[in-house]
Every structure is written in structure tokens, then in C-alpha cells.
Structure 1
Amino acid sequence: MPRLTIGQQHYTVKGILFDKDGTLLDFVALWGTWCQFAYAHFAERFDGPIAPLDQLWGLKSDGAGQVVDYDCNGPVAMGSIGDLLSTLAWQGYQQGQPWGESIRLARACKEAADAEIQRIRPARPLPGVVDFVHQCYGLGLLLGVVTADETEDSKRHLEWMGIRPLFASVIGDDAVERGKPFPDMVYKACGELDLAPRDVAVIGDTNGDMQMGNAAGAAVTIGLAPSEHEVSLLGDAKVIVSAYDQIILEK
């Protein structure tokens, strides 16, 4: 079986499960853009103030209002689309809208944001990830994606990056009863790959990813943390790397 080497640690695995946003692709380029579209569509429906985008979903904006960063432990990083829409709908309810109308409006804003994302396709692979995934595939590792995003949207994002055929399993939050940090996604992906959780590595950028992998009994949970601040947020990772070139693959 192929072996992963990280520093002095060695792990023999048959497959790797990747989180998607912030692990395979640039989180801000995709979700910062999506959130700005959805929020703008929603905010224009109300005269009164609603919570700032940063406060609402755990994003960080610059002085011009452009999203430049995000909270790895916040709603946009760890929550499902349903979580984000419920949070948005709550703002409408606070403005006096009936809950049913608020959630309908939130869903309409999601569809508008989805259409904009489909048009501009801002799915940008993280540095080194395309080469790493191809190397994994070439060594015979079975690959899957386990993400808080929805399944069909996730498949499209992988297609836009040109790596969809390399993944034999794509599991979104809508495909399981319980999302992260519960182990359900790992169990379902392993079932589709015909692997035991102990035979896979889980790679992600949030502690929810680490907790999910650990709860499932994965061989190793690898936290991706480009900065020291992000390292501090991955308390449950078995190992932490700042870039993919720190993971050595051997046959």
C-alpha cells in the first residue's frame, strides 16, 4: 500500500478523503464571492439594518467591503448551506418578515448567488493541490471528497478545476443525516470506496474535519494550516502541514 510520510511520521493508507473548500480550492475566491452575492441580494430587500456580513457568517472584509479572509471555526467554514440560509432568514424575521417568507427569500438569494458563481466559476485550486491529487491517483490511492457543501455543487467545482475524474466519491452535507464534526461523511465515502476508515487519511482545514476523521477512526487526520494562527485552530489534528509538498508519497 502507498505510504504517507509527514516529518518523522509514516502512515500506510489505501485512500485519502479531502475536505473541499480551503483544502482543495481557495475558500475566499469561491465562498467570499458567493456570500457577497447572496448577502447583497438579501439586504436590498430591507430598509432597516441587518447584521454585517462579517458578523453574520464569520467572514473578514477589508475597508472596501471585499471579503479577504474567514474564520476557520465560523459558520461559513463549518456550516452547511442550510445553516447559512437559516442564519440569513433570521435577519429577515428580525425585520418583521414571517419566517416562511424569510426562508423563501433566503433560498431565492442562494439561487441568485449560485447563478453568478456558475457564470464566473471562481474555483481556484490551492497551490500544489492539483499535482498532489494526480500523484495520489497515480499511486493507486482511492480518493474522495467530504464537504459541508452540497454534493452536486461540489462535483461542479471539481469539474471547473479539471480534477473531477480523479475522485471516486463525493459526499456533501446533503448526502448524510449528520454533517461535520460527526463521522457520517467518512463512513459513507468509505462505503463507496469499499475501504475501512482505518485505511484512509482525512485532510482538511478546520477542526471539524479533524474531529470527523478521528470519530470515524481514520488512519490519520492531517490539518492544512498555511499560517501559525490557523495551526492554533486545529487542536484535534494528528499532524499539521502548511503546504502539500510537506506530504511525501511513496509506493
Structure 2
Amino acid sequence: MSDLITPQGRQAVSAILFDKDGTLLEFVSLWGVWAKCLLERFGAHLNSRQLTLQPETIPSLFGTVHNEGGNITDYDRNGPLAMGTMADLYAILAWQGYLQGLSWAETMEIVDLCRKEADAMMDEMRPVVPLPGLTRFLEEARSHGVPMAVVTADETDAAEKHLRWLGIRDYFSEVIGTDQVERGKPFPDMVQLACSRLGIDPSGVVVIGDTNGDMRMAKAAGAALAIGLPGSASDDEVSNLLSDADVIVRTYEDLSVGRPGK
């Protein structure tokens, strides 16, 4: 067993489990682009039916911050885009169509079409950016024989694709999406499933994530340590965003892996 070395000390670790979005890759670079496309396509399809997605309501749908050009520049770390499943996001959009008089079946068909259009654009653009210091940290953990897995609110197939785009899929023994478990974050199911497949006890794992849902998932599973990566959140926001974290670091440069006691 190796040690994970943090600014607060050392922790013996049998495996490291990572959230994906905002933890392995920059959240806005991927999901800001995807959400903007999805919302724009949904608005266009409503307009073709003489209906309107009101501009003032758009930020509240997924919990996003938009600049004057309509691009998404930030997001609520505890909001739907960060914490919700894909089914949650699609249901939020479908509800907007239903409120304006469309049948649930018709509005779900529109959402599915928008999803395909947004996914096609993403496949072409591949707008993924790894967090600073990530590759160095993954390589160091692998060199010390620490098993690693991904536990994400995204669906497994999409997560696998994004990891391949980043060129880091081979670092992970398992990729667990929310579609593989009965309950997503903050429940412990994904950690438990990952540990079962890795053949280890949750009490020996470290969970790294960027939302308090990740931290609560770790606590519920009995993980050894929950590490929060707050990204661009201000110091004043961090205590609320990651209130259940054991350790908070700004970058992977603050983390390393070494031999016990070395």
C-alpha cells in the first residue's frame, strides 16, 4: 500500500476514485459548450412551433452563468448541470415544453433530437481540457501501483469517450457511470461498486471530486478520505461548496503519491 501525500499529511491508500467532470477535466470546457448547444437547439425547435424559451429563465434551468454572448462561463457546483444525471437534464428541458402546452411525448421527442444534435457537435469539437498537473499525478499513482477508477454522474459510454479524448483512459481499471447503479451521488453505490470490482474495501480508498455530492458519496461509503477540488470557486465559496471534504486542494500539484513513510 502506498501513501497519498496532501498538504494536511499522509494517508495510506489502497485505491483512488475520481469524479470526472471538474475533477479530471475542466468542467466548462466540455459541459458549458454542450449545454449551450442543447439549450440553443431546444429553443430553436420551440420557436418552430411558435413557442419561446424565455432568455431570462435559461440560466436557472441547469444552474449556469452566461456572458453577453450567451456562452457559459461558470456554473453552480451543486446545481443540475454539475450534479444531475443526463435524464435529470433532459427532464428539465422537457418540462419547459410541457409548460407551454406540448404533450410530454412530443417534448421528449424534441429533447432527444436536441441531444443527438449536441452530441454530434461534441464529437466533432472534442472540447476537453485536463486539469493542471493531472497527468503527472496519474502517472505517479500508477508507478506506485495504486489502482484507480472513475465514478461519475455521467453515463458510462460518454465517460469512456471523454477519457479517450483526453488520452487518459488506460490509467483507470474501472469506469463507473450513474447508469450502472440504482442510486447516483450522493449515495455510496458507485464507490461500493468500484471497490467490489477492484477487490478492495471502501475504508482504504480516497475519493477526489469537485462537488459536495462527491464528498457525501465518499462519507456514505466509508472512504478513508474525501478530497475536494474547488476549481475557480472563491475562497469564500469553498466552505459551502465542499463542506464535507476532509482535505481541499486547488490543484493536483498539491498532491503526490509515495512509499509509506517516505
In the TM superposition, 1:91-102 aligns within 5 A as: 91-102=96-107
- Give the corresponding residue for 2:252: 244
Q: How much has 1:5 moved relative to structure 2?
A: 1.9
Aligned equivalents of 1:109, 1:183: Cα separation in 2: 32
In the TM superposition, 1:1-251 aligns within 5 A as: 1-46=1-46, 47-51=50-54, 52-226=57-231, 227-228=234-235, 229-251=237-259
Determine helix, strand or coil for the equivalent of 1:203: strand
Determine helix, strand or coil for the equivalent of 1:3: strand
- Number of positions where the alignment pairs a residue of Structure 1 with one of Structure 2: 251
Q: How much has 1:193 moved relative to structure 2?
A: 1.1
8 Å contact kept, 2:6–2:254:
yes
Give unmatched runs, 5+ long, in structure 2: none
8 Å contact kept, 1:225–1:231:
no
Q: How much has 1:131 moved relative to structure 2?
A: 1.2
Higher alpha-carbon deviation: 234-243 or 38-47: 38-47
Higher alpha-carbon deviation: 211-220 or 221-230: 221-230
The amino acid across from 1:59 in the alignment is T
Higher alpha-carbon deviation: 7-16 or 205-214: 7-16
Determine helix, strand or coil for the equivalent of 1:232: helix
Give unmatched runs, 5+ long, in structure 1: none
Determine helix, strand or coil for the equivalent of 1:89: helix
TM value normalised by structure 1: 0.97
The amino acid across from 1:161 in the alignment is L
TM value normalised by structure 2: 0.93
8 Å contact kept, 2:25–2:130:
yes
Q: How much has 1:247 moved relative to structure 2?
A: 1.3
Aligned equivalents of 1:194, 1:110: Cα separation in 2: 36
Aligned equivalents of 1:139, 1:57: Cα separation in 2: 40
Aligned equivalents of 1:249, 1:166: Cα separation in 2: 15
The amino acid across from 1:245 in the alignment is E
* Identity among equivalent pairs (%): 47
The amino acid across from 1:239 in the alignment is V
Determine helix, strand or coil for the equivalent of 2:92: helix
Q: How big is each residue's C-alpha offset from its partner over 1:222-243, in whole Å with a ceiling of 9 and x where there is no partner?
A: 0012341234310011111111
8 Å contact kept, 2:140–2:256:
no
